[in-house]
């Protein structure tokens, strides 16, 4: 199926909670923007993490951070509200619709409705359905592992349930965008630790089965040093040397597991800084030569 705007690309970033997913998503977005692509970083949820990082209010409408780099905060209800307004074009009727107790109960209870609205918004630029989304690249700081898989299942489930009509048709078109490697790509962020690596490997297999393509793996917070384990072992009676030896051995074991499962992956260094803005800048510098430009 041909779409009206196949020049726009979508990058979805997921992973286990606590692995630095949001920082990596922002770093990717900054890389794309510096490559000359008009880039929108999308944060999913009700509250913004990036407002503290970039020290500016982040809302539903794109907020400009710097040249060609914008951020938005999208929730299921805000995306659904915009979609309803796009259909009926009368703001008061939209407000009445969402303020009605019965409709609000229906929206809360309806399975996958908010997830469908979010994915509909994410893919709307490519499908040219709804308000214009004039960006070259959409980078989505998506939900963590289980919630992310449920999000992707929403349009597929509705497409199977509703065989005809606009909702079923739009759900199928959303699925097609998300399943095409030339339009969407997926990044899984992990750490060189046992539980995050095991979850990343499982998620990689689940995503490949769901969307039919290989997600890319990023191993974040890898401790980098020019010191070898054999050299450090000469000072193993020193606490810091012992810490480095154990860290390097653990990292070596877990990255070997990733290589065996994935074949290839990208590593990002552990940044010793407590300022999120600086961490993102350094991660984006590390990613600069590693990110494919579609």
- Predicted local confidence at residue 77, as pLDDT: 81
266 backbone dihedrals φ, ψ, rounded to 5°: -105, 135
Confidence check: pLDDT of 174 > 90: yes
Q: DSSP label at 60?
A: S
Residue 63 has pLDDT above 90, yes or no: yes
Q: Does residue 246 fall inside a structural domain?
A: no
**Higher-confidence residue: 67 or 228?**
67
Give residue 130's region: left, alpha or beta (phi > 0; psi -120 to 50): left
Please tell me the distance from the alpha carbon of residue 146 to that of residue 202, in angstroms, as a whole number: 11
Q: Is 244 inside any structural domain? A: no
Which CATH number characterizes residue 120's domain?
Answer: 3.40.50.300
Q: What is the dihedral of CA 188, 193, 198, 204, to 10 degrees?
A: 10
pLDDT at 112 over 80: no
Tens digits of residue pLDDT in 24-44: 999 999 999 999 999 999 999
List the structure tokens of 97. Answer: 């619709």
Q: The tokens 């692509």 sit on which residue?
A: 37
**Residues paired with 186 in a beta bridge:** 12
Count of structural domains, the chain:
1
Structure tokens at 233: 């072992």
Q: Which domain holds residue 76?
A: 9-224+267-287
Average predicted confidence (pLDDT) for the chain: 87
Give 244-282 pLDDT, tens digit per residue.
777 788 888 899 989 988 888 999 999 989 899 999 999
Cβ atoms of 43 and 71 closer than 8 Å: yes
pLDDT score of 90 more than 60: no
d(CA 73, CA 123): 15
Is residue 51 within 8 Å of 57, Cβ to Cβ?
Answer: yes
- Does any domain span residue 126? yes
Q: Does 233 reside within a domain?
A: no
Q: How confident is the model at residue 294 (pLDDT cuts 50, 70, 90)?
A: very low
Residue 260 in domain: no
Examine residue 18 and state whether it is found in any structural domain, yes or no. Answer: yes
CA 144 to chain centre: 9
Residue 282 within a domain: yes
- Domain-located, residue 161: yes
pLDDT band at 71 (very low <50, low <70, confident <90, very high): very high
């Amino acid at each position: 199926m041909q779409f009206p705007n196949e020049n726009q690309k979508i990058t979805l970033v997921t992973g286990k909670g606590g692995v630095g997913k949001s920082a990596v998503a922002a770093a990717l977005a900054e890389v794309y923007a510096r490559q000359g692509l008009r880039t929108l970083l999308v944060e999913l949820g009700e509250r913004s993490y990036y407002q503290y990082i970039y020290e500016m209010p982040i809302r539903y409408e794109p907020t400009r951070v710097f040249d060609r780099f914008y951020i938005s905060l999208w929730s299921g209800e805000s995306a659904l509200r915009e979609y309803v307004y796009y259909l009926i074009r009368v703001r008061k009727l939209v407000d009445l619709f969402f303020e009605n107790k019965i409709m609000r109960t229906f929206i809360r209870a309806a399975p996958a409705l908010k997830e469908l609205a979010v994915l509909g918004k994410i893919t709307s630029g490519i499908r040219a359905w709804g308000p214009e989304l004039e960006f070259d690249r959409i980078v989505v700081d998506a939900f963590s592992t289980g919630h992310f898989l449920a999000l992707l299942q929403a349009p597929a489930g509705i497409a199977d349930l509703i065989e005809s009509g606009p909702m079923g048709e739009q759900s199928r078109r959303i699925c097609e965008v998300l399943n095409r490697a030339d339009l969407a790509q997926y990044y899984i962020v992990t750490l060189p630790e046992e539980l995050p690596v095991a979850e990343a490997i499982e998620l990689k297999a689940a995503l490949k089965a769901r969307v039919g393509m290989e997600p890319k793996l990023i191993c974040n917070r890898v401790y980098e040093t020019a010191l070898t384990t054999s050299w450090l072992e000469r000072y193993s009676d020193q606490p810091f040397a012992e810490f480095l030896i154990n860290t390097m051995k653990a990292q070596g074991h877990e990255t070997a597991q990733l290589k065996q499962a994935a074949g290839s992956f990208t590593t990002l260094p552990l940044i010793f800084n407590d300022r999120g803005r600086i961490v993102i800048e350094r991660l984006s510098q590390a990613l600069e030569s590693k990110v494919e430009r579609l």
